[in-house]
Amino acid sequence: MNAGPLAGIRILEVGVMLAGPYATMLLADLGAEVIKIEPPGGEISRQVRDSYFASLNRNKQSICIDLRSEEGQRQLAELAAKSHALLVNMKPSAIRRLGLTYDALRQYNEKIVCVALTGFGLDGGDDPAFDYVIQAATGVAAMTGDPDGPPTLPGYSAADNSTGLTAALGLVSQIVSGRGGQVDVSLRDVMFSQLNYHAAAYLNDGIEPQRHPNGAHSFYVPAQLFPTADGYLALFITHDGFWKSFAGEAGISGFETMAERSAKRDEVLAVVIAALATDTAKNWEARLRPLGIPSAAVRSLPDALEATPEVVVSAGEFRLVASPIRVSGYEPEYRPAPAFDEHAHSYSTVTESVSGTP
């Protein structure tokens, strides 16, 4: 088996809960050596539940360092001198106080890349910034849910996970540049970025995003969830070719262009709802998929995982979702998340120089 694409890269993580640990786990899955620096008592997410911690911290090493102490700062300096990057997610004042910025660490290693994940940016202040708060603050919650109901949040940590992915990209990009430096990634900025076409429609055309029933798309029709004879079906018709194939299978005539379907949204939805009511969601999926029409029956997470066993891997005693990044010729080992301070005994080897020049 080939070494991972990030083999030989050493990353220090001072991570809390989700966004930071998720970013470094993805990098560890790709072969990076990730050293998780935990405070006395352990990183707080160890208190949530074992499976939570396992899902964000596999393939890492754990050492306990009290960064508030003089000795802890000495240990941090030694590690930084022999590492390629450091990633931290805390409030800005804590990041600076603990010496986790490029300005603080460049004296030990000019080429180290320091990535800060915060709510509003390193210069954005210390206001509390959790996933749900950011979704509310950036307009995501306001555009989600039924138009006659309250604002709604998705059932998973969209802001945290997206920011973790973005931070991992920023970290690798700066390492590839060959220059050290500070990378600043905030939950707020990432969520605005992910509202791309909605934001552009408002900024350029004055179009405010509207909530539609059943999560309908703002521009494409029909593209939403539909009730069927049994269960709900997600149908996503974007262009006229998809519509022609669907209409033929469903026995619908007319509405041949995207512009007409958009202009006559209510009429289109009425005929589609009537057609889909004649069969079950799973049967419609089986009928439409061979035609190349984007569609899927709505499944619960347990049903979806059972139907897709290839995405599940074992890491020690835990069954987890595999890395979403597949690299030809490389298969991650999926080692379990480390016990607290598990690698303290090998601290001397942890601080040996990695291959290449950090």
Secondary element (H or E) of residue 63 = strand 60-64
Contact 237, 246 (CB under 8 A): yes
Instruction: Exactly one of 123, 126, 148, 160 is catalytic; name it.
Output: 160
Phi, psi of 246 (to 5 degrees): -65, -45
**Which conformational region is residue 304 in: left (phi greater than 0), alpha (psi within -120 to 50 degrees), or beta?**
alpha
Q: pTM for the complete prediction?
A: 0.92
The pLDDT-based confidence of 352 (bands split at 50, 70, 90) is: very low
Q: What is the mean pLDDT of residues 276-302?
A: 97
Per-residue confidence band for 356, with pLDDT thresholds at 50, 70 and 90 = very low
Q: Distance (Å, rounded) from C-alpha 59 to C-alpha 43? A: 16
Measured between alpha carbons, how far is residue 235 from residues 11, 59, 94, 244, 288 in Å? 42, 38, 46, 14, 9
Task: Report the alpha-carbon distance of residue 31 to residue 15 in Å, rounded.
Answer: 18
Q: What is the β-pairing status of strands 295-297 and 232-236?
A: antiparallel
Task: Give the SS3 label for residue 259.
Answer: helix
Question: What is the predicted pLDDT for the residue at 13?
Answer: 98
Q: Is 123 in the active site?
A: no
Residue ranges and CATH numbers for the domains of the chain are 10-194+308-350 (3.40.50.10540), 213-227+232-297 (3.30.1540.10)
CA distance 246 to 298: 18
Mean pLDDT of the chain: 95
The pLDDT of residue 351? 45
Please report the pLDDT score of residue 344 as a whole number: 86
Q: What is the pLDDT of residue 2?
A: 78
